[in-house]
Amino acid sequence: MREEAAMAGARNRGLSGPQKCLVWLLFIVPLAVVVGKWSALPTSPFLTQWCSLSAVPADLHRGARHILFVPLGAVLVVFFRLTLGIRVLGPFRSVLLAVAFQVTGVLLGLAFLAAIMAIVLAVRPLLRFVRMPYFGRVSAILSVVAAVMVLGLLASAWLGAESLHLVASLPIVVLCLMGEGLAKTLAREGWRSALWRGAMTALLAVVIALLSEVPGIRNLLLQYPELLVLQIGCIVFIAKFLNLRLLEGINPPAKRRRARARRGAHRGGKAGRTGTMAAARGGAASGSAPAAPEDPGPSA
Answer yes or no: is 109 within a domain: yes
Answer yes or no: is 81 within a domain: yes
217-222 long-range contacts (CB < 8 A, ≥24 apart) are 217/72, 218/65, 221/65, 221/68, 221/69, 221/72, 222/52, 222/53, 222/54, 222/56, 222/61, 222/64, 222/65, 222/68
Tell me how crowded residue 30 is: count the other CB atoms within 10 A of its CB.
21
For the stretch 86-144, pLDDT in tens is: 999 988 899 989 988 888 888 888 988 888 888 888 887 888 888 888 788 878 888 88
| Whether the predicted pLDDT of 223 surpasses 80 | yes
Measured CA to CA, the distance from residue 263 to residue 3 in angstroms comes to 18
| Whether the predicted pLDDT of 295 surpasses 50 | no
The CA R_g of the chain, rounded to the nearest whole Å, is: 27
Answer yes or no: is 16 within a domain: no
What pLDDT does 103 receive?
A: 80
Answer yes or no: is 70 within a domain: yes
For the stretch 23-63, pLDDT in tens is: 999 999 999 999 999 988 999 999 988 888 877 777 777 77
Terminal Cα-to-Cα distance of the chain (whole angstroms): 47
Name the DSSP class of 133.
-
Q: Which amino acid would we find at residue 201?
A: T
For the stretch 158-199, pLDDT in tens is: 877 776 777 766 777 788 888 888 888 888 898 899 999 999
Q: Residues 120, 121, 122, 125: is their CA dihedral positive or negative?
A: positive
Answer yes or no: is 69 within a domain: yes
Local confidence band at 298 (pLDDT 50, 70, 90 cut-offs): very low
Which residues, 6 or more positions from 259, have their beta carbon under 8 angstroms from its beta carbon?
188
For 97, counting Cβ atoms within 10 Å of its Cβ (0-12 exposed, 13-18 middle, 19+ buried), the class is buried
CB 229 within 8 A of CB 30: yes
Answer yes or no: is 126 within a domain: yes
pTM: predicted TM-score of the whole model, two decimal places: 0.74
Answer yes or no: is 123 within a domain: yes
18-24 long-range contacts (CB < 8 A, ≥24 apart) are 23/233, 23/236, 23/237, 23/240
Answer yes or no: is 144 within a domain: yes
Query: How many domains are contained in the chain?
Result: 1
Which residues, 6 or more positions from 8, have their beta carbon under 8 angstroms from its beta carbon?
none
Instruction: Give the structural domain span for 99.
Output: 59-216+245-252
